[in-house]
Structure 1
């Protein structure tokens, strides 16, 4: 399919807007916190005195400091946006750039599909039980971003806050409990399926992790000795994963304050202001000879696109691991068809997650097919999968473990093998 010039321009504008969102985080978050500070002085003097006596103003000052620390980190993440082929002069720098480490790992590829105008991004936002959709047209003016600075929307900032929490989930010691609930059953199922394969042969087995987010599950699989490729489309996740995987040199190198954006359901100041260090492992500590890559682009376009000479991905993957992914589909039939088609004979599909259909009730007029769990499994059987090892596993998602509120997903887990033709 030819790449349309307008689609490329639209994608570049969207990417520039995402970078600007990172850069404008401090101004946005400090303004929100300053609103609380102003609100104190709308109250009767007696009420003000009581709040001041509780140390409320001092807490707001601590939140300001935490926001500035987050901003310094986020500015490092987007300090080098030309990694995706964009000119850094395209971006209006809304914050102070902080020099980061320069160590590079060759674990990122950019697909041409990134530039075909499908700039939707997904945010589970499980902490507040919401999900969001965006398209190129929802990201502001299509004028040249160098001439007209972009003003991030509330939705943009929600995605950025979700990205901060993803750092905690995937790359911190604090996120290990939640992460292990999801990733460990998947990794065990992968090892069980290939139990008769020697350690030396593992590297010949190709594992795909679509919707890889910040890349930890894919990194773990590569660390186990498999050849592993992650795939991600969200520019927020792509920028963040590139930084953590390529520009981070030591354990605990960065400190984040992920819970300072909401004062609701907080039992005490510590629960909101506690710092989280990332990463909990060195991303460069993969064993020698590991084969690990992340590919940027749309899952359906990269892995489902057909060419005149045949589909290059067909039968090329020994395993596909989908974690909190299949509910991002507009057309779940096509998702499952692609997964089946690109698996090698006898290949395994391991799934974990809920069915929070991301495009349900969307405002962008995109189609959305929303099946219940039994329908999804029956569809998988009809497409050619044999499902086994089914169970329900309760899990949270980017949860503040010290919050007074937490949503629990009764996530579906299964192992599915591709039936012989």
Structure 2
């Protein structure tokens, strides 16, 4: 929750800007595609005729239609943003504040409750937004209509790709490269616990993104809580987990925004349907929740006497998360502090330090892998099962370019 009126207003402004980004997707994306049409007419007539024989203009029309499909899907996600606590003024795109610490809990009567997006230039991002709240202010109660930036739209496009990774059949192979070894390590560590008693074990998934890893952990019987900071992820995960009542209910086109490294028209235009499982199909009595807010603020202190954190988590699973730290020392110190005696920390991910070379004057400590492991041992962890897992992240399997992370994997216990 925001600590003072200024922070509260910044939070409201940032959330409003995120809503505006969702709602301006069609206008922004159609304009970008229309630029390609205009460029055709700058070419010599003979070149235009050659492009006509290839059906290039028809492809642009098909991309327009795909963008409109995407816009309809994204509009559903932000159809009722007031559920997060504030009325929405359609006139100036104002909307509510999603307060840090707001918890969505699994409820068998209504389905499970319910993010991480940071670009490093070439669209190989994993989602966890750390952008500072932004808004235009001309008084305490009125703001100018927000115009989403290229950076905002890049995060929204990344959210569509994250849906593919976490909630589609198409994304299963990629996500299982990461999620399966983490589930297996968790099950191995608690192999002595009968399956019917797993609900007594509390598992935390920081940087939960769209919630699939946390959902899968709850599906095998553990009490699981995800934590996420990005409003893009939180809005989207809430929608898929709470407002989706059928397998493959939603269809969109995640790869129509760039014409680079495209092998074929079908590869660019192909549709993806989500979800591949019924979100409400958790076992009866499942304990599954997602808490919105900053990891360090929520779990790094004892600010809530009703929700103590120290020594309370039997397992912590960090997937593509620890490199979101400004201060990795504090991240690992918090993980060590809140882990219960006999608990396990399972990590998988690269070291794409999110605040390296940032333009927001945020501090950033950037260690190499050997230094991270040495730090973990110095803080009080014993590492085991260390290995490398080669994996992509939100990659188009039909594209001509893909980034492979040599992700570090380990399990760790308190010394």
Q: 1:269 aligns with which of 265, 269, 272?
A: 265
Residue 134 in 1 paired to residue 140 in 2? no
Deviations 1:134-182 (A, max 9, x none): 212xx34134686521000000000000000000000000000100000
1:413 Cα shift?
0.3
1:338 Cα shift?
0.3
Contact 2:33–2:64 (Cα < 8 Å) also in 1 = yes
Residue 71 in 1 paired to residue 51 in 2? no
1:92 Cα shift?
4.0
TM-score, length-scaled by structure 2: 0.92
**Superposition map of 1:25-104 within 5 A:** 25-89=25-89, 92=92, 104=110
Give the distance between the partners of 1:77 and 1:311, measured in 2 at CA.
Answer: 30
Give the distance between the partners of 2:36 and 2:228, measured in 1 at CA.
Answer: 37
Give the distance between the partners of 1:339 and 1:292, measured in 2 at CA.
Answer: 20
Give the distance between the partners of 2:281 and 2:306, measured in 1 at CA.
Answer: 37
1:306 Cα shift?
3.3
- In structure 2, what is the equivalent of residue 107 of structure 1? 113
Q: Secondary structure at the match of 1:369?
A: coil
1:133 Cα shift?
5.2
Give the distance between the partners of 1:93 and 1:30, measured in 2 at CA.
Answer: 20
- Number of matched residues? 398
Q: Secondary structure at the match of 2:89?
A: helix
Q: 1:260 aligns with which of 236, 256, 260?
A: 256
Contact 2:112–2:279 (Cα < 8 Å) also in 1 = no
**Superposition map of 1:311-326 within 5 A:** 312-326=308-322
1:373 Cα shift?
0.2
Residue 392 in 1 paired to residue 388 in 2? yes
Give the distance between the partners of 1:218 and 1:260, measured in 2 at CA.
Answer: 29
Q: Secondary structure at the match of 1:346?
A: strand
Q: 1:369 aligns with which of 365, 382, 385?
A: 365
- Tell me: CA distance 1:271–1:383, structure 2 relative to 1, closer, same or farther (3 Å): same
Unpaired runs of 5+ in structure 2? 95-108
Give the distance between the partners of 1:176 and 1:302, measured in 2 at CA.
Answer: 31
Contact 1:104–1:247 (Cα < 8 Å) also in 2 = no
CA RMSD of aligned residues (A): 2.1
- Tell me: CA distance 1:283–1:235, structure 2 relative to 1, closer, same or farther (3 Å): same
1:313 Cα shift?
0.3
- Tell me: CA distance 1:343–1:79, structure 2 relative to 1, closer, same or farther (3 Å): same
1:2 Cα shift?
8.2
Unpaired runs of 5+ in structure 1? 95-102, 109-119
